[in-house]
Structure 1
Amino acid sequence: MVLEYVTDPSDPRLTDYTRMRDVELRKSLEAERGLFLAEGEKVIRRAIGAGHPIRSVLTTDRWLASLRDVLGDATVYVVSDEVMAGVAGFPVHRGALASMERLPLPSVETLLKSLAGGPRRLLVLEDLADHSNVGAIFRSAAALGVDAVVLSPRCADPLYRRAVKVSMGAVFSIRYARMDDWFRGLAQLREAGFRTLALTPDQTATPLDAVALTERVALLLGAEGDGLSSHWLEEADEAVCIRMSAAAMASGVDSLNVVAAAAIACHDLMRSAG
């Protein structure tokens, strides 16, 4: 481990960590440099365990000891709490940030070929824009045993700092890939033997807990607010819903947010996969 003590938040050695509040800048830096930021001991450990190389670590003296065993020969910038907050733009309660290198993302074709044998369950996310929602959905998918996640081309990045944080590192424990072609994306899944189920709040759709699930199922989740596009709804093999109670419907509560819906749907999806 190489320790370097830094006292100025504008020190150029901390470039990976600065201006994290500027979303467009962070997206640009992450794409250009192939990096992402992991926050907190648990998340950093999971990222290292998934094979992501460490570029550097930013932490305080108080949190350094808890990470010593996994940092190897990494460069560690040690700062005060005040400098840490100045760099990040907010108090870092989990005590450490790590700049990590991304691993090559498999193509959807490669991912699907890797899912051989036995019942298989996919989540397919279309155009979710909120990184927190993406992170929370990855956490539910990993916790409930979903095999992999497929993202539409415009879906938010699972390795964006907020998504990684909300997922508690679950983004490192479940395989995922991003489509190149949104228009033909569902056809590619069907060609691989997956039955596509489009989750909708429409209560005239088949209740998900009543669907006879086949060996290979892909559940489609749409963007916050608008839901699935009309193209994907038409292309899917079947529209499905989560049953809402009559009392809820009568009081005007006719749907769930995408994170809650995803958690319930993942549970239903796995009932015949184990």
Structure 2
Amino acid sequence: MRTTTNGIILALRPHGEHGAIVRMMTPEMGLQAGYVRGARGRNLRPVLLAGNQVVAELSSRTEAQLAQASVELSHSRAPLLQEPLAAAAIDWACALTATGLPEGQAYPRIFQALEGLLAAIEAAPSASGWGAAMVRYELLLLAELGFGLDIARCAVTGDADDLVAVSPRSGRAVSRAEAAPYAGKLLPMPRFILEGGMASWHDILEGMALTGHFLLRDVITDRAVTVAEARARLVDRMKRAAGN
């Protein structure tokens, strides 16, 4: 089996003396892993950075065998790694994708959304420019994995008007009137999640708190402590940038 595909580098794990197992997101085949010879050498080390886009050739004798991979850089995001907030965002988005998705299943919407998110981070390293996109990416990943939030209508009345919160247990939206008696027990839902558009720092942090609750409960389990830490670093840097 041999195939050539575009890919976004997500993670790298050293294997052997000089090689590494590289995990990448592809548009047609979803999450793919491959062994790259010389991955930790001078030439390939800057290529195999999380967030970089590559053209990869994957080959294996059987579907069950780990593929051998050769990669060629198509777009580098290495300069962003010098920006603490942008670097934390790339680290988290790639770690979430690599950890949350099963291998070998196509998720074209997630590939497109991740590509768009990384481009937004590159265009505006301040989270005020891409924070809303990060929240939407996390919501999409939850939905694609079967943990999507039911936020189109109020869980109590069935109405679609004035939705302001989400139940932390059911993931269903709650209207302002119905949420009032439960202040402090529900997760605030910023308006941009339903209406689109830009978001304030306050809205972005509320959105991150909302998606974070369900990601940490349903997707990022206890065995993925380092991944949860990556998200904590991002949120902490967002709060600092917001002046909180």
**Pair in the same fold by TM > 0.5:** no
Structure with a larger share of its residues in strand:
2
TM-score between both structures, scaled by the size of structure 1: 0.29
TM-score between both structures, scaled by the size of structure 2: 0.31
Higher relative contact order (CA 8 A, sep 6+): 1
